[in-house]
Chain A
């Protein structure tokens, strides 16, 4: 299996064309690698930045206040100008082996490549309603906040009119403002902890600016609705997260957004035998971007969840440099 004929060998393959993958590929190039393939499943580079249309990006890296697409644009322009970096869009990685054979599908074909070094920059996915154990029915109208962001900002759909948001993560806060500006009514943000999980600036500019109530030490205890969400039950919790039944109240709504955390996407490196911490779904590693398998690097939100893209760019550039040094060591 591991010594296949007719498989093209590349110095470096980067999986993922978001901020992490682009920074890693550019840094590998700047550190001397001249044969780089970057694969991206979407039809555009930029990853999650394309749907993050709000400002607040690049304050550290560019010392400017950019929106997500503007931040992405700078790297897309830069990487597109480097002929040594081949970019393959609409390319979806499906298998990775310990010997660094990577299989991916493109429209109409299956490709396989052998990478001397590989950098996985596959990002993360959202935690769902099922993972936070909310009782009740299973009607339409319950969305992870980032999915709702994609619906509004990329597809132009408004997924609901009366919204309750579970969790005060940054994506949920940003979406509270976005729904409000688009004419929906955001009735409450419900946070089980005593403080916000998101940045304080987002509590101010996304909730307080619009008078959206934020309930700390509260949870949604039940979702009601037959075909569509009709209402939620909300209850205060004590320090041990036990419900205080006498505090229970209801909010009518047609939509529930979940903003309750992110899970790094590392299923491919797990196939390749990389040691994974099952609790965080991140590679077991003493050093940023490294894994238990030499030559397989992981960067960006697939290595750990970052608050800000600037940190992703800095650390992913290190991944590119590490891969370049690893390749030099092979020679």
Chain B
């Protein structure tokens, strides 16, 4: 069975045709770069997204500190990860990339600060 999906790796948005047999990818066309091949196979078997949000800071120079997952997390866990992010009250200064939640919900991804925030 051919599944048509749009690659979201870059703004080109390649239209991929993924040949799926019994849940397994047996062919993929339409990608203009290797990222599309990886994305298409992943999207069929285990769709994931990079998640970004903000955490509330207390006593720091800005009120909301932007965060992101350093790897894509399972699409089905996005709202659960949001709940974990909402629990955080950040009180220490951070640099870009500082881990705020390690291995969030066992996804192997860390939630990390995406902006430098001083005291």
Q: Mark B74-102, 1 if CB is under 8 A from A, else 0.
A: 01001100100000000000001000000
CA of A3 to CA of B9, assembled, Å: 54
Instruction: Give the residues in chain B near A54, CB-CB below 8 Å.
Output: 52
Cβ of B31 within 8 Å of any chain A Cβ, yes or no, is no
Instruction: Give the residues in chain A near B50, CB-CB below 8 Å.
Output: 55, 65
CA of A54 to CA of B8, assembled, Å: 13
Identify which of residues 47-75 in chain B touch chain A, using a CB-to-CB cut-off of 8 Å: 49-54, 56, 62-64, 66-68, 75
Cβ of A110 within 8 Å of any chain B Cβ, yes or no, is no
Give the nearest-CB partner of A53 in chain B.
B66
| Given A67-B66, A209-B75, also A156-B6 (CB < 8 A) | no
Give the nearest-CB partner of A307 in chain B.
B11
Q: Mark A68-80, 1 if CB is under 8 A from B, else 0.
A: 1110110010000
Q: A59-B11, A70-B68, A201-B8 are in contact. List 19 more A-B contacts (CB 8 A).
A: A53-B54, A53-B114, A65-B50, A67-B66, A67-B114, A69-B66, A69-B96, A72-B115, A73-B115, A153-B66, A155-B63, A156-B63, A156-B64, A181-B78, A182-B82, A199-B11, A200-B13, A201-B9, A204-B8
Q: Please state if B6 and A201 are interface contacts (CB–CB under 8 Å).
A: yes
Q: Across chains A and B, which 10 residue pairs bring their CB atoms closest together, nearest first?
A: A200-B13, A69-B115, A53-B66, A201-B8, A67-B114, A156-B64, A204-B6, A69-B114, A201-B13, A205-B8
Q: Mark A4-45, 1 if CB is under 8 A from B, else 0.
A: 000000000000000000000000000000000000000000
CA of A244 to CA of B50, assembled, Å: 40
Give the nearest-CB partner of B97 in chain A.
A70
A-B contact pairs, 21 of them (CB 8 A): A53-B52, A53-B66, A53-B67, A53-B114, A54-B52, A55-B68, A59-B10, A59-B11, A65-B50, A70-B114, A72-B115, A73-B115, A153-B64, A154-B63, A181-B82, A199-B13, A200-B13, A204-B13, A205-B49, A209-B75, A308-B11
Q: Please state if B96 and A73 are interface contacts (CB–CB under 8 Å).
A: yes
Band of interface residues on B: 20 to 34
CA of A200 to CA of B53, assembled, Å: 22
Chain B residues with CB under 8 Å of chain A are 5-11, 13, 49-54, 56, 62-64, 66-68, 75, 78-79, 82, 96, 114-116
Instruction: Give the residues in chain B near A154, CB-CB below 8 Å.
Output: 62-64
Contact partner of B11 (CB less than 8 A), chosen from A50, A152, A201, is A201
Give the nearest-CB partner of A73 in chain B.
B96
Q: Mark A300-331, 1 if CB is under 8 A from B, else 0.
A: 00000001100000000000000000000000
CA of A68 to CA of B66, assembled, Å: 10
Q: Mark A209-233, 1 if CB is under 8 A from B, else 0.
A: 1000000000000000000000000
Instruction: Give the residues in chain A near B116, CB-CB below 8 Å.
Output: 73, 76
Instruction: Give the residues in chain B near A73, CB-CB below 8 Å.
Output: 96, 114-116
What's the minimum C-beta distance from B10 to chain A, rounded to whole angstroms?
A: 5
Contact partner of B53 (CB less than 8 A), chosen from A181, A204, A205, A209, is A181
Instruction: Give the residues in chain A near B75, CB-CB below 8 Å.
Output: 209
What's the minimum C-beta distance from B66 to chain A, rounded to whole angstroms?
A: 4
Instruction: Give the residues in chain B near A55, CB-CB below 8 Å.
Output: 50, 52, 68
Identify which of residues 173-210 in chain A touch chain B, using a CB-to-CB cut-off of 8 Å: 181-182, 199-201, 203-205, 209
Instruction: Give the residues in chain A near B49, CB-CB below 8 Å.
Output: 205, 209
Give the nearest-CB partner of B10 in chain A.
A59
What's the minimum C-beta distance from B61 to chain A, rounded to whole angstroms?
A: 9
